[in-house]
Amino acid sequence: MILYITLFTAVGFEVAGTMLLPLTHNFSKPLPSTLLLLFYGFSFYLLALVTEKLPLSVIYASWAGLGVFSVAMLSSIFYKQTLNWQSVAGLFLIVVGVTIVNVFKT
Q: What DSSP element (H or E) covers 92?
A: helix 85-103
pLDDT at 57 (0 to 100): 86
The model's pTM is: 0.88
Rounded to the nearest 5 degrees, what angle is found at the Cα of 104, between the Cα atoms of 87 and 98? Answer: 20
Q: Cβ distance 87 to 72 under 8 Å? A: yes
Rounded-to-integer distance, Cα 29 and Cα 68, Å = 24
Cα–Cα distance measured from residue 50 to residue 77, given in angstroms and rounded to the nearest whole number: 30
**Amino acid 98: pLDDT:** 87
Per-residue pLDDT of the chain in tens (106 residues, 90 and over written 9)? 899 999 999 999 999 999 999 999 999 999 999 999 999 999 999 999 999 999 998 898 889 999 999 999 999 999 999 999 999 999 999 989 888 988 887 6
**pLDDT for 49:** 96
What domain count does the chain have? Answer: 1
81 in Cβ contact with 75 (< 8 Å):
yes
Domain interval for residue 78: 2-103
